[in-house]
Amino acid sequence: MSSYRDVLMGIKMSNGHIAELRLHLGQIDKVASFEHPIYEVKRVVAPDAASAAGQLTPEQHAIALSIEARVNEIFGKAIKEATANKPAETTKE
């Protein structure tokens, strides 16, 4: 399971379209760009369906746990940095 966190809202527009509004922390966004390729590797090595069915080899299970632990550690650090009491960085896009 990913540690990625954001707030996602569906907003119905006056023309009937549904708009998606996503709010997230800049530090989390930076980590997410790193996390997705790692998730893709884990998905090949240890598919979620096989994991849920208890069909992983011990090696696959160990790899999946290692990947999840590292990604959770990285996201945890990003959340701590984002919520620390310090002035917000400004970015120009």
What are the sequence ranges of the domains in the chain? 25-83
Q: Would you say the pTM of this structure is higher than 0.85? A: no
Mean pLDDT value across residues 54-83: 87
7-34 pLDDT per residue, tens: 889 999 999 999 999 887 788 878 877 7
| Inter-residue contact 64 to 12 (CB < 8 Å) | no
Q: CA 42, CA 68: separation in Å to the nearest integer? A: 9
